Amino acid sequence: MKEADKIKTIVVQGVIVVLAALCLFWTVNYASAQVSREEKGNPQLRTSDISPFKMAMEGSEGFFDDIRDAGWKRLMERIQTTPSCATSCAAEPAARWYQNNWEPNFTCLDERRIGRWGDGGKWVCDPRRIVAKAEAGHGCLVYSVGSNNDFSFEESILRDISPACEIHTFDPTIGDRPAKPLTDEQITFHPWGLSNKNDGKYKTLQTIMQDLDHGNREIDILKIDCEGCEWSSYEGWLDKGIRIRQILIELHHGTEGATPLPAMKFMESLSQRGFVIFHKEPNTLGCGGRCIEYAFVRLASPEVRLAGIVNNTRNRT
């Protein structure tokens, strides 16, 4: 065989190999895309035994519907292996206690800051999921506790997440109505405070939800900055029948004095109810680091999440 013929044969064989590889790549990705499209349009398929998103769907009660099992396992391993305390979570000044303890143990890939930069804005876990829920006709409900006549967070919710969100703002310290009239009908102001008992303008979260006819609804975002009311009211947020997906809160002090420390009890109570920390930052502007911003998202209970990983892993072996 002539040298030119040999080169020609090698080139042809190379082209065939490349084309075969491209065909295989296209076939695999097309099949994967087809599965993804079918799953997005078929909730039953997404939670079936063949769905690659089954663990996340079960482990988050449907909130995370597009994280594959391998990725969800890694997220759960992070929760399991992230320590709560640097040492013992012993009492110390707030600026030191919050720096040393309870770091974020979960990641929201599309978290986004909602509201103004600096003091007042909050980090929200994957707003697109709230958008999808609202567009699917399941509503969007936001409670904002503490305003000080600043409604930039609420306005940003409507502008940057969804104009369909129903927002209720609560503050008993600024009178019966805000200093400036609210211009958006999706925002409703109530001169009520949050407490562990009903007393005049102060109400439990359960009572507020009943008064507003929200007893059967999930609060997508509970944003709280009430200068310390969190310690006396948080147990009521966790009452049976109350469903909150995200808690965005500024914690004030609570790290000194008799044990168990209020901050420690708060963190442990939320953790036991399935809440994980996806964001944390000190407020150096408003209180010199003595208060801190935390963002929590609720997954299934720890027992359900762990059982889901074990069961789904067994099903695949």
pLDDT in tens, the chain (317 residues): 556 666 666 655 665 665 666 665 554 454 444 444 444 455 555 555 668 999 999 999 999 999 999 999 999 999 999 999 988 899 999 999 999 999 999 999 999 999 988 777 899 999 999 999 999 999 999 999 988 888 899 999 999 999 999 999 999 988 888 877 787 789 999 999 999 999 989 999 999 999 999 999 999 999 998 877 888 888 989 888 899 999 999 999 999 988 899 999 999 999 999 999 999 998 887 777 778 999 999 999 887 776 655 555 545 44
Q: How many Å apart are CA 45 and CA 35, to the nearest integer?
A: 9
**Residue 152 belongs to a domain:** yes
Residue 104 lies in a domain: yes
231, part of any domain: yes
CATH number of the domain where residue 226 is located: 3.40.50
User: What are φ and ψ of residue 37, in 5° steps?
Assistant: -65, -40
Could you tell me if residue 17 is inside a domain?
A: no
| Within a domain: 316 | no
- Containing 277, the helix (H) or strand (E) segment is strand 275-282
Phi-psi region of 192 (alpha: psi -120 to 50; beta: other; left: phi over 0): beta
- Total domains in the fold of the chain: 1
Domain with 105, as residue range(s), is 53-305
The whole-angstrom separation of Cα 72 and Cα 64 is 9
Q: Is residue 315 part of a domain?
A: no
Give a yes or no: residue 144 inside a domain. yes
Evaluate if pTM is beyond 0.75. Answer: yes
Is 156 part of any domain? yes
With a CB cutoff of 8 Å and minimum separation 6, the contacts of 40 are 46
